[in-house]
Amino acid sequence: MPRDLSTAVARFATLLRRSGLPVTLVEVTDAVRALDHLDIADRHELYLGLRAVFATRPEEFPVFDRCFEAFWRAAREAADDSGSIPMPSLDDQDGASLAGGQKREALALDSWGDGEEESESGDPLSVPLASESETLIAQDFSTFSADQLDELLKLTIKIARRLAHRISRRRKPVRRRGRVDLRRTLRANLTKGDLIDLRFRQRKRKKIRLVLLCDVSGSMDLYSRFLLQFLFALQSVFGRVETFTFSTRLTRITEYLRGRSYRQVLRRLTDVRDWSGGTRIGESLAQLNREWPHLVDRRTIVIVLSDGWDTGEPDLLATELLRIKRRAARVIWLNPLLGNPSYEPLTRGMAAALPLIDHFAPGHNLAALRDLAGKLSL
């Protein structure tokens, strides 16, 4: 399959969602797999194959037809000698074509801050009821719309605070100050009638650094906005965090995330290039090892948030990830696709990375992010 086709399908799915179709990452994955069985040079066959995946009801066909006609204009041209087709330009909901990489990158961010005016003004966000919170926490990110970012922000910050607290929760023995360590006290007084020799403990705050690498390529469009919100919240409550985005190259966004509100952060992120493009995970990891090697040591937990779709060489990915693993305390990989029970990590990139990962977990909802608590300690 041409390397750019999976990205094109993911961006086409984003347009369908913006037009009202209930498209999730499961359908995107099925559509990419379907391309192996379709003649991509036959426009009608491509149309029928993708419609079978994305439009399951007759009333959805007109919406799909409009999106297909607008988005896949480039597919009318003949395939080149390598068998690939030109990357289609993503049209907005009014059908106006967006030409050029900068406009495509702007489109990837322009609707992310919708509905956040309340947060920007400094007013506290409303807190959902307990039952509503649990529903939101368990809901897949791919089913949320951009105007629901503010609903999730309060919950996201709450979960990030729990994670930060978990990191500094462990205690160490001390002589006279702190809480009584019951286990050590009992052990010290086993041969005595009374507990007269008390042992104490106090909070031990280990200086752990988190290095966060978030995939913002086209295949991650349905998840990036919510994962970046989580990274913003985590950086707001935890002191030692370095955050990067990657697609075809790595970009350090630690300073961009230091904003008063997430809406402000999104405005800053428009200066970052490389949104919604292809994915070269190995080259991005190589850039981390080359330009920021001092950020990863034995007190560093590296967290990669990616679906593992990679257009680069898997050998390079494995080599660079091994270099990180040898220096880091732990490597954690969160994959949104893992939230689908039928998912198997069969892509070349994911298969190359798996043997080098200490913890492989889903990253498709807030519940999965909350479950990180047990993994963020040394």
Residue 156's Cβ-side half-sphere holds a number of Cα atoms within 13 Å equal to: 23
Residues 6+ apart with CB under 8 A from 130: none
Residue 220 pLDDT > 50:
yes
For all residues of the chain together, what is the average pLDDT?
A: 76
The 3-class SS string of 80-135 reads CCCCCCCCCCCECCCCCECCCHHHHHHHHHHCCCCCCHHHHCCCCCCCCCHHHHHH
DSSP-assigned letter for residue 213: E
Q: Domain segments of the chain: what residues?
A: 5-99, 100-170+206-378, 171-203
CB atoms within 10 A of CB 6: 25
Highest mean pLDDT among 28-37, 179-188, 320-329: 320-329
pLDDT in tens, 55-99: 888 878 888 888 888 777 644 543 444 444 444 433 333 333 333
Instruction: Report the pLDDT value the prediction gives residue 107, as an integer from 0 to 100.
Output: 39
* Torsion angles phi and psi, residue 189, rounded to 5: -120, 25
The C-alpha atoms of residue 378 and residue 372 are separated, in whole angstroms, by 13
Q: Which residue has the higher pLDDT, 274 or 36?
A: 36
pLDDT in tens, 168-217: 555 555 455 556 666 666 666 666 655 556 565 655 556 788 999 999 98
Give 100-170+206-378's CATH code, choosing from 3.20.20.150, 3.40.190.10, 3.40.50.410, 3.30.60.50. Answer: 3.40.50.410
pLDDT above 90 covers a percentage of the chain that reads: 22
The C-alpha atoms of residue 27 and residue 231 are separated, in whole angstroms, by 26
Instruction: Report the pLDDT value the prediction gives residue 197, as an integer from 0 to 100.
Output: 61
The C-alpha atoms of residue 31 and residue 38 are separated, in whole angstroms, by 10
Which range is least confidently modeled, 72-81, 143-152, 229-238, 305-314? Answer: 72-81
Q: Which two tokens stand for residue 168?
A: 């500094």
DSSP-assigned letter for residue 76: G
Average pLDDT over residues 91-113: 41
This prediction has a pTM of 0.65
pLDDT in tens, 235-266: 888 778 999 999 989 999 998 888 777 778 87
Residue (of 370, 220, 241, 209) closest to 305 by Cα position: 220
Q: Which two tokens stand for residue 361?
A: 């977990």
Q: Which two tokens stand for residue 34?
A: 């379907």
pLDDT in tens, 41-59: 788 888 888 999 988 888 7
Q: Assign residue 348 a region: left if phi > 0, alpha if psi is -120 to 50, beta otherwise? A: alpha
229 DSSP β-pair partners:
none
Pairing of strands 179-180, 200-203: antiparallel
Q: Which two tokens stand for residue 294?
A: 């001092």
Q: Which two tokens stand for residue 142?
A: 């791919």
Q: Which two tokens stand for residue 4?
A: 């750019």
Instruction: Report the pLDDT value the prediction gives residue 205, as an integer from 0 to 100.
Output: 55
Residue (of 344, 330, 339, 342) closest to 362 by Cα position: 339
The C-alpha atoms of residue 299 and residue 355 are separated, in whole angstroms, by 21
* Torsion angles phi and psi, residue 245, rounded to 5: -110, 155
